[in-house]
Structures are given as structure tokens and as C-alpha cells.
Amino acid sequence: MTFEPEQLGRSQTDLAEMLRELRRRAGLTGDRLAKRCNMSQSQISKFETGKKTPRLMDVERILRALDAPPALTAEITALARIANTEWQDKRSSWRRGLEKRQTELLALESESTTLRFFLPAMITGLLATPEYVRASLAHSPGDTSKTVARKLERQAVLYDTSKSFTFLLTEQAARWAIMPAPAMAVQIDRMVSLSHLPNLRFGVIPCGTVMTRGPMNTFTVYDERLATVENFTGRLVFRDPRDIAEHLDVFALYERKALTGDPARELLSLWADAYRS
């Protein structure tokens, strides 16, 4: 399925209108449809008014209850997939202020208990030294001092032992030099230190590891409810369980190939020493 970014803003309204019209054509009240779907009438009402975005499985239950024809089922299902996907472009983040994005990330991290980070290119802010954070924001417009402070404040979540974190890094991510060698050595040392926290799991994938699937994008999965994927111009937010499951499968594939525990720490220490020398 392909879509344009502007579709993401319209899809929820369009989906609500189509579900409401389809119910009316079937001659059902919201209450009768809710009973057929084993849902509450208020839930159906929120879907039809656009106050709440239905999950794909909710839409499929409604379509089965309404005995929708195959062509219409395919159209509405595709629309539901788009409605469960959000595009956040980088320019909008710049206009709003990058520190506000840090507040949103803090909320996501606070609400989650199992967090998985796949890092094929660079180190995430949760693991970064202040110097690395500042260097990573070098191409961002305006004063980034507040954003740096917020990024560093977010790191406190790593010490919350009610949460578990898994970080998978490629060798490129760990060794990509956005700072001079001495500072990169300190950054890698920090990851070695953090890897001893009981609720953190590090996986390192060295160059030369045979993989049948390329590391296409940085992505993060929060529990099993939301996944974010980043590229140069922004990020996609997926809430469809099928998209989340796909990212969990990809994560598991890379995790099986990664070095963890002492072998990972030994490799990271070797890379840090290489920068020091």
C-alpha cells in the first residue's frame, strides 16, 4: 500500500464518514451494530465521529458485522491502515521547537515498560554523552541548548528498574565519528558502563556479520502498541498491530545475530581503545 503524507491528516475523518454511512445503508442503529460487534455503543459512536481512531481489527469486526462487499472492505481496510499511521515531518518539529519533541518522547518512555531500539547509523540520545548530544544537533536550526538539556533529562528513565530496555547497535552506529576521537572514546565507554544496569540489554552487530536483511531504518518499538521509524525528513508512527508485529520480527532477527553481555562489552571497549590510540 502506498500513500501520500497529506493523506494521513484526512484519513481519520474519511474513515469515520465511511463507517457511519455504511452502517446507515445497512439500516442499523449504532446500538445494534455495537451488539453485533461485541463493542459498546459509545465506542461505535467515537469511531463514527472521528473522536477515536479504530484499530484495524476493530474495523474488520465492523465490516464483517455489516457484511460489507469485498471491494468496499478492501477500500475501508486500506483507509484504516493509513489512519493508524502518522507522519511527523522534521520541519514541523523545528517550527514547534525541538525541545517539545523531547517532551513527547519522555511521555512515550514514561508510559512504556518494554522499549526496543534498533540503531543502524547513530547512537540514540538516551545513551549519549552531552558532547555527543550537542554534536548530533549541529545541523538543527536555532538555539538547541534547551533541547540538549531535555535530552539529558530523559536519560533518568534508564534507571527505572520497572522498565526494560534493549538497544541493538550496528558497528557503524557505535563508531560513526560525529566528534573527535577522544570524545568518541568517552561515548563508547559510557555505553559499556550503562550495559551493566540490570534492566538494560545491549546487542552489538559487528561488520562482517552475515545478515539476509539490510538495516534500512532506525526504529523504536514501545511495548507492543506503537513503533516509530525515522528517516532524514521525519518519522512515521505506526499503531496498526500488524506493522508493530513486523518491526518486532525484524528486531528479533537482528537480536539473534547480535553479540550481548561480556562479548558485546569487550567489542565496545576495543573500539573505544582504537579511538584513544
The pTM of this model reads 0.77
DSSP H helices, the chain, are 7-25, 30-37, 41-49, 56-65, 70-83, 90-96, 98-111, 130-136, 145-154, 171-175, 181-194, 241-257, 261-276
Per the prediction, the chain carries an average pLDDT of 90
Q: Is the pLDDT of residue 52 over 50?
A: yes
- C-beta separation of 243 from 266 below 8 A: no
Position 105 scores a pLDDT of 87
In percent, the amount of the chain with pLDDT more than 90 equals: 60
- Whether residue 54 has pLDDT greater than 90: no
In tens, the pLDDT along 114-131 reads 999 999 999 999 999 999
Cα–Cα nearest to 119, from 258, 276, 270 = 258
> 224-246, pLDDT tens digit by residue?
989 999 988 888 888 888 899 99
Give the pLDDT confidence of 155-186 residue by residue, as tens digits. 999 999 999 999 999 999 999 999 999 999 99
Examine the pLDDT at 7 and tell me if it is beyond 60.
no
What pLDDT score was predicted for residue 118? 98
The Cα–Cα gap between 268 and 25 comes to 63
Q: Is the pLDDT of residue 2 over 70?
A: no
pLDDT digits (tens, 9 = 90+) for 245-261: 999 999 999 999 999 99
Residues of 46-76 as b/e, b for ≥16 C-beta within 10 angstroms? ebbebebbbbbebbbbbbebbebeeeebeeb
Q: Residues 33-41: what's their mean pLDDT?
A: 90
Q: Identify the H or E element spanning 164.
A: strand 164-170
CA angle in degrees (0–180, nearest 5) for 132-133-138: 95
CB burial class (10 A; 0-12, 13-18, 19+) of residue 92?
Answer: exposed
Alpha-carbon dihedral sign for residues 106, 111, 114, 116: negative
Phi and psi (nearest 5°) for 252? -65, -35
Of 37-41, 101-105, 143-147, the poorest mean pLDDT is in: 101-105
Report residue 94 as a C-alpha cell: 523545528
What pLDDT, on a 0 to 100 scale, did the predictor assign at position 219? 97
Check residue 10 and give its pLDDT: 55
Which residue has cell 511521555?
107
